[in-house]
Structure 1
Amino acid sequence: MANGVWHRGYGIEINLSLPDLGHPEFPGLLDEIMTSVSQRDPEMLECLAHHDGYTCESEAGGKSPWMFVRRGRTLGRRPLVAAHLPVTHKPTPAESDQHKATKERVVATALRHGLDAAAESPLGGPRGRSVADALVTGPDGIKIGWEIQYYHLGTSGVYQRSLKARGNGVTPLWVTKSTRAALIDRAPWARVDDMPWREIAGGREMLIRGGFRYLQTWRCTRSSVRQCLDNGGAGNCDGVHHDWFLPALCEPSKPAIHIEDLVLTSATGETLPVFVPHRHNPKSGRHMWVPVQDCTLWTDLDGHTRLPDVPVLEPEGSITFDERDLDRSCSAGQDNDGFRSDPRPERDLGQPTGGLTLPLLASRRPKGGPAGSLAVTDVERAALAATLNCPVWEIGPCAGCGQFIRRYGRDAPVACGGCRNQHG
């Protein structure tokens, strides 16, 4: 097995036995070269012997000079090794037609709503030349760069292109049809159904299956339809939980989001891209599009910023780097275990983020305040109102235990259910 390859995109040779692969200037390089061949350019990595102009045994045998990288297993070590691809995959006409039809549908939708839009639009600015599949500009100057990725792109490519778009004042919006796509949760994204290009062009309903969520708030009691976020689903904490859910998983369920909805609301600012770190692992998290009012409440509650400058990359696991000299010879004769490219695991499973819990607040009188006044912040009132599904001005203390309840308004009780049961 070879311990080196040539990267045709960057024009560099890669030493797989070095921790930084010999190129510390490319921090996402490891993630990129480990991307499944089905989701990247199959001709991205080249046999070093073939690149140097020497005989490539694989090509001489009627096969491919292109390479893939995987983890090997030798005497308890897990080195990175490169092997030849027996075949190369190119996008089919159907895949290209899907891409074109989706791009044209995004542009047509934007124009129909009076927005500025263009296909294959160049992005100028200090970050260099780049082209978005579709660039939609809202009335307040919000620019959304739609990137339709039905075929392949590694996580490093998503990282670089997203960074370049944001550097040019454009918010990227990646579209995929696969639950295994590397772009999921690497940048703002949306997943649609895999459908024939004729149905896309013909206006068939295109639902956003992943990448869009609503903020849900609920009181953690025995009667709650949701599990407790703090007790692993066992028991209840009587606190107030907040977490993000797909429209179909909301209580009550929210209307489905169509691609036309996202085209319009993302450009007008009614829908915002957010990154929510996982509660129990801040190094990972979810990218999602959310309603602006939900984003505002979450920011008030948790204080997290809307979008990080750098997408979060998942760790690749334990790899052994023995720091050997680069072997430039062709390894075709050593590829005796055949080509294996394990599919990436599903990334779009609709998992929650771990959410946020606020304690249930008891009413309290501020020090020196008038009788009947309550010490509660605007954020706490907003959270309680969302939990109780009522306006903030209807929040008040239970006449018995003092916990906040929906106290005012039509048919509102003066005491909570527990106090009413206890005292008859």
Structure 2
Amino acid sequence: MPLWVTKSDRAALIDRAPWARVDDMDWQDIADGREMLIRGGFRHLQTWRCVPSSVRHCLEGSGGHCGSIHADWFLPALCEPPKPPIHIEDLIVTSATGESLAVFVPSRHNPRTGRHMWVPVKDCSTWKDMAGPTRLPKEPSHEPDDDITFSSEELDRSCRAGEEHLAYRSDPRPLRDFGQPTGGLTLPVLPMRPANAGAPVAVTDPERAAMAAALDCKPWELGPCIGCGQFIRRFGRNAPMACRACREAWAGSQAR
């Protein structure tokens, strides 16, 4: 599995192969042992329920809250709560050990396009449970800057170490690393079972995986609230039998 490392947010191989972008560091910083943070190409999966209390907006652009489960990929600094930064040295090791995987996430609007990224293996497993296996597009759509050209220049053998204020030519290529979310995935609203209903509600495996990720619990710990019937973390150590809203309503009625 290749790992292309670049210092430019306009590099032609961004989203065409597994990649990572680092800062353009001076040779003095490299000699001093400064760690190289990954600025693009590594993401974490975030799953949330689209309700008014959510800190994230609705992926469907409804302007409100649809009640569905959303999942999308974010840079570490944009996660809720923020994740610690990843160093290129760590990615090299974890990509070899299998703790970090290279995945391709197709675009929601055009499955022939999408984004390459490195992700934690746990997040990749959760994503596959919700979205199914991701595959490379058979015929990637042509983009205006798809043509990669090479212009031969005579090799400059002079040492530039220590020189300041070097004049660099501007890069005419368009920006490729925007750092924006991928567009994500939306699963339908989970069905609710009326309290004391006898028949269980049929929930698909992707729906169960998405709700478990949103509630930060295991899929087998899900169950219906005995009050309103919505799915909560019902089973496991210290798991409640009713959701917070039902417990607060019950406590209020007892106080009266």
Q: For the superposition of Structure 1 and Structure 2, which TM-score range results when normalised by the shorter chain?
A: 0.7 to 0.9
Alpha-carbon contact 2:44-2:76 (below 8 Å) kept: yes
Aligned pairs for 1:84-123 within 5 A? none
Alpha-carbon contact 2:50-2:68 (below 8 Å) kept: yes
The alignment partner of 1:283 has SS state of coil
Alpha-carbon contact 1:186-1:313 (below 8 Å) kept: no
The alignment partner of 1:387 has SS state of helix
Matched, 1:316 2:149: no
Per the alignment, residue 219 of structure 1 pairs with 49
Distance 1:211 1:342, change over 3 A: closer
Aligned pairs for 1:64-213 within 5 A? 171-213=1-43
Structure 1 residue 229: Cα displacement: 0.3
Per the alignment, residue 58 of structure 2 pairs with 228
Per the alignment, residue 222 of structure 2 pairs with 395
Deviations 1:239-267, CA, capped at 9 Å, x for gaps: 10000000111111111110111111111
Which is higher, the Rg of structure 1 or of structure 2? Answer: 1
Alpha-carbon contact 2:131-2:206 (below 8 Å) kept: no
TM-score normalised by length of structure 1 = 0.48
Per the alignment, residue 152 of structure 1 pairs with none
Amino acid at match of 1:405: I
Structure 1 residue 415: Cα displacement: 2.7
Per the alignment, residue 76 of structure 2 pairs with 247
Aligned pairs for 1:268-347 within 5 A? 268-308=97-137, 312-316=140-144, 343-347=172-176
TM-score normalised by length of structure 2 = 0.77
Structure 1 residue 202: Cα displacement: 3.9
Per the alignment, residue 183 of structure 2 pairs with 354
Distance 1:214 1:197, change over 3 A: same
CA distance in 1, matches of 2:246, 2:60: 25
Structure 1 residue 184: Cα displacement: 1.1
Across the aligned residues of Structure 1 and Structure 2, the Cα RMSD in angstroms comes to: 2.7
- Which structure exhibits the higher relative contact order, with contacts defined as CA atoms closer than 8 Å and separated by 6 or more residues? 2
Distance 1:418 1:409, change over 3 A: same
CA distance in 1, matches of 2:125, 2:228: 31
CA distance in 2, matches of 1:404, 1:186: 40
State how many pairs are aligned. 225
CA distance in 1, matches of 2:73, 2:119: 9
- Structure 2: runs of 5+ lacking an equivalent: 146-169
Distance 1:373 1:235, change over 3 A: closer
Alpha-carbon contact 1:242-1:357 (below 8 Å) kept: yes
Structure 1 residue 204: Cα displacement: 1.0
Structure 1 residue 347: Cα displacement: 1.5
Q: Which moved more, 1:400-409 or 1:172-181?
A: 400-409
CA distance in 2, matches of 1:401, 1:281: 39
The alignment partner of 1:300 has SS state of helix
Alpha-carbon contact 1:216-1:250 (below 8 Å) kept: yes
Distance 1:376 1:297, change over 3 A: same
CA distance in 2, matches of 1:383, 1:189: 27
Per the alignment, residue 160 of structure 1 pairs with none
- Structure 1: runs of 5+ lacking an equivalent: 1-170, 318-340, 366-370
CA distance in 2, matches of 1:393, 1:275: 28
Structure 1 residue 197: Cα displacement: 2.8
Amino acid at match of 2:8: S
Aligned pairs for 1:32-47 within 5 A? none
Structure 1 residue 208: Cα displacement: 0.7
Matched, 1:414 2:233: no
Structure 1 residue 221: Cα displacement: 0.6
Q: Aligned residues: percent identity? A: 69
The alignment partner of 2:183 has SS state of coil
Per the alignment, residue 383 of structure 1 pairs with 210
Q: Which runs of at least 4 in structure 1 moved beyond 6 Å after TM superposition?
A: none
Amino acid at match of 2:143: P
Structure 1 residue 284: Cα displacement: 2.3
